[in-house]
Amino acid sequence: MQLITTAAVLSALLVHSSTAADDTDFITAAPHAGSATSDLYPPPSTSVDSALFPPEEEVGFPGPTPTGVEPAAIQTAAVYPYNRGPTNQFPLVAPQPHGQSETSDKFDITKYWGNLSPWYSLSSVDYGLPDTSPLAPPGCSVTQVHLLYRHGARYPTSGAAPAQFAEKIANATKKGLQVKDDLAFLADWTYKLGGELLSPFGRSQEFLLGIQHRQLYGHLLNNFTEAGTIPVFRTESQDRMVKTTENFAAGFFGVPEYLDQVSIEILVEAPGVNNSGAPYYVCDNAGIASRGDIGSSVASKFAQNAFNATLARLNSQVSGIEFTPNDVVAMLQLCSYETNALGYSAFCGLFSQEDFLNYEYYYDLAFYYNNGPGSPVSAAQGKGYLQEFVARFTGEYPEAWSALNQTFDNSSTYFPLNQSIYADATHEVVVLDTLTAFNLTALFKGPPLNPKENRKENSFSSSKTVPFATHFTAQVLECSTYQPTKQIRFILNDAVIPVADSYPGCPADPHGLCAFDNVVSVLKDRIDEIDFDHDCFGDYSAEAGVDYNGRAPKKS
């Protein structure tokens, strides 16, 4: 009571001074909108219709869900996860690289794990916009937000290298494996990871993302309140995807409110089902080595030579086993996965700073050539989302809805076009496919990545672009200081991405803004030039070292 009185008196005083004083430093307070309690979200008598939006158990197709061993960092971690490290991602423990000092060096190894990195904020300045941030630019207000985000940290996917490595160690142990020095911990190491599922840390990433977005964009819920309706947030059927969206929604709406304040739409991801969030299931060329899967072989070739010094050191500390370059990659992945799932990994300390830089480049190659501009199928795979974004921008279902599930997507129940807030969850490969389809070439500035060595001539970084919980945002704005006043811009993990060099008709702008109608027209041209059938089913051959802008070469 005391506080309320004081605040009321204080604000009365402020309003009084600002209107009474001649001093022009004071700004007259505007009538305050949205403070009446009737404006608060959720609108009365709304609820989720679970017949229209069935839960995970009913939708099915959860994918494999092998559970792991419970984490026990209180016993296994060498360092306690205090929330004050200069380079740690609380509550993960990440040591300095091999050969560097824990006390004086500050190299955050978690920023070099490619798609296994936890996301962190990027700077607009790195993409050529030194004077902006995601905050609404002066004179502008955000009227609509479109979010596409990846699931949080997870266990390895089925068939990944760490489980095979664990089996190799188990086999060698039976035959008298001996270890020493850096590798002494292997004597009683066991494999504790499950598969596919979101880790506890992964849950926190999405929960925090939800909280952050409520803080940033909560005012856009007023549009739903006025319309007397609640939003649809979309995700996919794999267990980690459903849990990702539930954690995001829990952060955004609160627990247990999220259960009744947002309709969560679970799209089936399975072979043959058309789904913008899992396009590889309807794109035959995606898995073909000379077409959509160039990146996997380029990356694995790079790894054969990249870790020689460390491989020699590690092999000198064991007998009864011979490590290969693939084992080194598996151990680096164990560093990432164990840290993300268990909070700590003894594998991390085995690797030098140079190893982590090469590990990141290994992922850079894989993603640039599988899902970036170096891939002939990436734009086709991102076309579904590109079409969906444009549909939401324009409020119109497209005529040629070719790559999508019409029964499910062409309806105002499942694919509404009048929301002020959109949030879709997907996989990292799809986020990157989508960025490529959007022709956001500022993310890939420079010559195609060199397959043999990191020449650092390209702006692309997998750790920055496809980490866990990576998120791509389109802000639609009303700007009184611009002509036309309706503007739009794109943001990736807090960095504003300029479009002046890749969107014809968009002038250079310090805030990365461009006229909304112009951007829509550029994106429609892009949709038209992406030939899904040719890129995904055509007979052609592609190779590493080329920037295809994500599209297949015409017949070989």
CB neighbourhood size of 312 (10 A): 10
> Which window, 69-77, 241-249, 265-273, 508-516, contacts ligand NAG (CB under 6 A)?
265-273
Handedness of CA 132, 111, 354, 360 (dihedral sign): negative
**479, β-bridge pairs:** 140
**Residue 217, φ and ψ in degrees, nearest 5:** -125, 15
Give the 3-state secondary structure of residue 96.
coil
Q: What is the 3-state secondary structure (H, E, C) of 312-364?
A: HHHHCCEECCCCCHHHHHHHHHHHHHHHHHHCCCCCHHHCCHHHHHHHHHHHH
492 phi, psi to nearest 5 deg: -120, 120
Q: Is the peptide bond before 376 cis (omega within 30 degrees of 0)?
A: no
**Which of residues 305 and 319 has its CB atom nearest to ligand NAG in the complex?**
305
Tell me the C-alpha distance between 138 and 141, whole Å: 8
* Helix, strand and coil in the chain, % to nearest 5: 45, 10, 45
The answer to whether residue 526 forms part of the interface with ligand NAG (CB under 6 A) is yes
DSSP β-ladder status, 178-179 and 318-319: antiparallel
* Amino acid sitting at position 233: F
Nearest distance from C-beta of residue 127 to ligand NAG, angstroms? 13
Q: How far is CA 503 from CA 288, 364, 488, in A?
A: 31, 25, 12
User: Using the rule CB under 6 A, which residue among 6, 67, 158, 164 binds ligand NAG?
Assistant: 164
The one-letter code for the residue type at 125 is V
Residue 248 sits in the site that holds ligand NAG (CB under 6 A) = no
Q: Should residue 358 be labelled a site residue for ligand NAG when binding is judged by CB under 6 A?
A: no
What is residue 127's three-state secondary structure? helix
Nearer residue to ligand NAG within complex by CB, 76 or 324: 324
Interaction between residue 273 and ligand NAG (CB under 6 A) = yes
416 binds ligand NAG (CB under 6 A): yes
Using CB under 6 A, pick the residue from 88, 199, 405, 475 that binds ligand NAG: 405
Query: Of the ranges 3-11, 13-21, 160-168, 341-349, which one interacts with ligand NAG (CB under 6 A)?
Result: 160-168
In the complex, minimum distance from the CB of residue 352 to ligand NAG, in angstroms, rounded to a whole number: 14
- Of residues 94 and 283, the one with the C-beta less far from ligand NAG: 283
Report in angstroms how near the CB of residue 556 gets to ligand NAG at its nearest.
22
Minimum CB distance to ligand NAG smaller for 113 or for 532: 532
Quote the crossing angle between the two packed helices 353-371 and 428-437, to the nearest 10°: 60
Shorter beta-carbon distance to ligand NAG: residue 23 or 399: 399
| Contact flags string 168-197 toward ligand NAG, x per CB under 6 A | x--x--------------------------
Least distance from ligand NAG to the Cβ atom of residue 510, Å: 20
Can residue 477 be called a binding residue for ligand NAG (CB under 6 A)? no
Taking the complex as a whole, the smallest distance from the CB of residue 529 to ligand NAG amounts, in Å, to 6
For residue 324, state whether it binds ligand NAG (rule: CB under 6 A): no
Does 418 participate in binding ligand NAG (rule CB under 6 A)?
yes
What is the binding site for ligand NAG (CB under 6 A)? 143-144, 164, 167-168, 171, 223-224, 227, 229, 267-268, 273-274, 282, 305, 308, 397, 401-408, 410, 412, 416, 418-420, 439, 441, 501-504, 522, 525-526, 529, 532
